[in-house]
Structure 1
Amino acid sequence: MAGNRDVRQGGFTLLELLATLAIVAILASVAVPGMQSLFTHNRIASDYNDIAGGLRQARSMAISEGESVSVTLAPREGGGWTLVVDGLDGPPLRESFRGSGVTRTWNVTFNEVGRLQCDSDSLCPEKKIEIADKTLWISPIGYIGKRNDDKTP
């Protein structure tokens, strides 16, 4: 048996390993740009949800304290955003230090029953806050979220 040279050993050849490595490299080059888009979309969705949560918190404060609460959403210098209750010392309601889609300052005031407050005694029109490619709607009665007819993803 010592002279039997027809025994084949298992394993991969160098050519098979290089071909597999080339296929993996091609697939990775296709997947990475898609992942970048996914990360950007998720960051914007996270900011949208954080801002909506902060506005809901401000509305709840107005109702529970029985007085108007004004909030300001503003971009941060160097990226990110901050949501603060006007006239209240202390930390902001919500903030983000990452770059985001908040590009301008927005002011919202909720009255003591949680409705949007405007300068006149009439019912305020709905307000929309644009966050990158998403739109956050605030109805005159204080609903905060996405409208049913809004096609934003």
Structure 2
Amino acid sequence: MRTRRSPRSRGFTLVELVVTIAVFALLLLAALPSLGTWTDNTRIRNVASSLLDGLQLARAEAIRRNQNVSFWLVNIDNPAVLSNDCTLSNISGSWVVSVNSPIGHCADAPSTDSSPMLVTGRAVGDAGGRVSVTAVLAAGSSTAANSVTFNGFGRLVNTTDAIGQIDITGPTSGATYRNLRLVVSPAGQVRMCDPDSGVATTDPRRC
């Protein structure tokens, strides 16, 4: 009596493998631009959220202490680490909250009596090379601003030279990003909004 042989299992041929790899490569190439834009949009959101946190912290600390407290944008050599080589800048995502100017003291320990009486700070990190930050006095202004000071009531003190608007945008010209904007009112209110003119006027995210 004959025994029936089971059919041999068949694997991929070389041609099938090459075709599969080629299709996968084409799909990957098609997805790369979208993936890059998505990554940059995430960086934009992270930097905007960090700056918003810093501004809100400065205001809250001023109210808590009943003392003028400032938010400063600072430039540092290594965007990943706050260091004492810091200078003030209106195009940096790194920031420090302190009573006095933190120039040369951004890495100092927090203190309530030793100048600059630093509260805290945050380096922009690896997003610094992929996100553009621009701080100006107010909407439509081209005058640079790098700090804002809140008083014990949470209102702005340096109204003539305080940051009124911070734009956080993507790195590539012509790309479609979800750019964000922070707006600081004279009353000290800080708001994150979307500057895209395509956002509906009734949308609360619209600037």
**TM-score (norm: length of structure 2):** 0.59
Task: Tell me the secondary structure at the aligned position of residue 145 of structure 1.
Answer: strand
Verify: 1:112 aligned to 2:152, yes or no: yes
Q: 1:23 to 1:119 in 2, by over 3 A?
A: closer
Over the aligned positions, Cα root-mean-square deviation in angstroms equals 3.2
Tell me how far apart the structure 2 counterparts of residues 47 and 119 of structure 1 sit (CA, whole Å): 24
Which residue in 1 is equivalent to 2:184?
A: 138
Please tell me the residue identity of whatever aligns with 2:40: T
Q: SS where residue 30 of structure 2 aligns?
A: helix
TM-score (norm 1): 0.77
Which structure has the larger Rg over C-alpha atoms?
1
Match of 2:122 in 1: 94
Tell me the percent identity: 29
Counterpart mapping for 1:26-45 below 5 A: 26-45=26-45
Deviations 1:91-150 (CA, angstroms, capped at 9, x unpaired) = 742222332323565210111111122358xxx999111222421111222221224x84
Which is helix-richer, 1 or 2? 1
- When residues 76 and 65 of structure 1 are mapped into structure 2, their CA distance, relative to the original with a 3 A threshold, is same
| 8 Å CA contact retained: 2:48, 2:182 | yes
Gaps of 5+ in 1: none
Q: Distance in 1 between matches of 2:19 and 2:10?
A: 18
Partner of 1:68 in structure 2? Answer: 68
Query: Partner residue of 2:112?
Result: none
Amino acid corresponding to residue 102 of structure 1 in structure 2? V
Which segments of 5 or more consecutive residues in structure 2 lack a partner in the other structure? 80-91, 101-115, 136-144, 170-178, 198-204
Segments of 4+ moved more than 4 angstroms: 1-4, 89-92
For this pair of structures, how many residues does the alignment match? 148
Provide the C-alpha distance between the structure 2 equivalents of 1:146 and 1:32, rounded to a whole number of angstroms: 29
Distance (Å, rounded) in 1 between the aligned partners of 2:63 and 2:123: 23
Distance, in Å, in 2 between the alignment partners of 1:60 and 1:144 is 11
Matched, 1:14 2:26: no
User: Shift of residue 8 of structure 1?
Assistant: 5.3
Q: Distance in 1 between matches of 2:8 and 2:192?
A: 66
